Structure 1
């Protein structure tokens, strides 16, 4: 009788072991914000080739290992930044992101720290082989990633500005690397900065009470709901103004022109939803703005392919 149970028990043990290992793997990916890193990598490649590096041929770009090395270091730094951020926000995430925290609980926090150190050191090691300037660039990037998670994420206004700046920091590095300075690129950078800032503030409105309980001083829990709404609507209206300037003054054309024109209607819809002042409306607004950023990456890709063909 026992001999009949043994294969079943062994099979059950294998299934539990597989589930545990798989949960550990998924937990690590979520903790490192792996999927965000993939999106940013895609955005970096698209913007680098089609915006910052318009004169270089595709063949030359493919074999430009220095650029690939910089983007690789960026990905490692973003993964490390995601890990250290979830380490400091672990208690808050128990309430805000219970499903993700439950999956991450399969891995001890010390292993996340080991992964953070490994990814950071590997990134700096690769950066050092590229050049001393690139090494310094990533030392600064990693320091502010850590400092944001440790201190700045709890400070009013600085938390939003630092988060958005760190998101755009790799793109700024590529712009400096290729010395691509123009009115169009500047306005596009301002547009992206504003829309990411709106996303971050709207996100904070959804976690207002939790942020306050854990000592995060955000715009929604410092100002009244009415003032927060005025700030977000004002930022969206400024973003609309930047969009109109890009269309009328920079000679932008193709899919990007359609993107910025369509953005005017998207932002009007977001303003309408925010005036409704319900949690559901804020959640919908947040996802519309996030989706519109992704649409912008696709529009840049299509616009670039159209120009290259």
Structure 2
């Protein structure tokens, strides 16, 4: 290999390393901001807003309702900001729990995550202020508790689980208030979702029990005995089944949502069976089944809404 060929080879090598570094930075940012979670929540917000909370408005009117799109846009930015600040405070813990994600994130300095966090918060609040003062106040509260959860509440027993689930549902509550959609069916569906997300969060904590304890996170699994934790999760699943039955029998729910809540009874029973085995594999399987069932619920609501609108 002559000098010219050697120089070209070195330049190509430098370019490939530079490209790899840039791609790694981009992927690291997406993981740090929990971009894919934000996409799922955006999809869920649009589906629930149009097909559950906003049943009287036509699709054309909904498309051109820029106030609603603005609120959802602010929500997405706040969720992305919340993901960034959460990974900032959990960075040391994530080194052990999520080594691959942490390694990808290491291509970006933590200070740049904070800059993006502040930028997203400012843009979200600016848009919220342009919509209305009430919307601005709504997002000030949302962003404050997002930060306060990551900074302090995530380490407090029971409060951490309740706050996490409440923050997840907070945007949906906002849409319910905006459209003034108050009914027994919506209330029971909110309770169902709250309970299933609470189960997911507690099961997740069982998989990181020792790491949480080492870093000062007081969770249900590392505070109570294993049998007590198992009893709590199973009790919550049984209550979730009771809520599902109430939805099916008392609210007259029909279509795909009726199939969803009926199928959910069998899903909960199977999850209880898995939890009784009390192995790490069974807990991991339970966690993913419950997560998948939440996604199935969004699809069922979408299909049910399309069926009702036709």
Q: TM-score, normalised by structure 1?
A: 1.00
- Distance in 2, Cα, partners of 1:53 & 1:10: 57
Query: Which residue is equivalent to 2:112?
Result: 111
Aligned to 2:74: 73
Counterpart in 1 of 2:306? Answer: 305
Does residue 295 of structure 1 match 2:303?
Answer: no
Q: Following the alignment from structure 1 to structure 2, what is the Cα–Cα distance between the partners of residues 279 and 26?
A: 29
Provide Cα deviations, 1:221-260, integer angstroms capped at 9, x if missing partner. 0000000000000000000000000000000000000000
How many corresponding residue pairs?
309
Offset of 1:134 from its aligned partner?
0.1
Q: Which runs of 5+ in 2 are unaligned?
A: none
The answer to whether the aligner puts 1:32 opposite 2:33 as a matched pair is yes
Where does structure 1 lack aligned partners over 5 or more consecutive residues? none
Post-superposition Cα deviations, 1:52-94, rounded to whole Å, max 9, x if no partner, equal 0000000000000000000000000000000000000000000
User: Counterpart in 2 of 1:132?
Assistant: 133
Between the aligned partners of 1:119 and 1:6, the Cα distance in structure 2 is 43
Shift of 1:179: 0.1
Shift of 1:2: 1.4
Equivalent residue number for residue 224 of structure 2: 223
Q: Distance in 1 between matches of 2:185 and 2:130?
A: 33
- Per-residue CA deviation, residues 88-121 of structure 1 (Å, 9 max, x unaligned), is 0000000000000000000000000000000000
- How far is 1:217 from its partner? 0.1
Offset from partner CA, 1:116-136 (integer Å, 9 cap, x none)? 000000000000000000000
Q: CA RMSD in A?
A: 0.3
**Deviation of 1:36 (Å):** 0.1
* 3-state secondary structure, aligned to 2:157: coil
Corresponding residue number in structure 2 for 1:45:
46
Alpha-carbon distance, 1:4 to partner: 1.4
Structure 1: which 4+ aligned runs deviate by more than 4 Å?
none
Q: How many Å apart are 1:46 and its aligned residue?
A: 0.0
Structure-to-structure mapping, 1:266-281, within 5 angstroms: 266-281=267-282
Q: Give the Cα–Cα distance (whole angstroms) in 1 for the partners of residues 218 and 5 of structure 2.
A: 61
2:231 is paired with a residue whose SS is helix
- Matched with 2:24 is 23
Give, in whole Å, the separation in 1 of the partners of 2:269 and 2:92: 36
Matches within 5 A, 1:184-199: 184-199=185-200
Paired with 2:293 and 2:115, the residues of 1 have a C-alpha distance of: 35
TM-score normalized with structure 2 length: 0.99
**Quick one: distance in 2 between partners of 1:117 and 1:226?**
43
2:56 is paired with a residue whose SS is coil
1:261 Cα shift? 0.0
Compute the displacement of 1:35 (Å). 0.1
| Other structure's SS at 1:221 match | helix
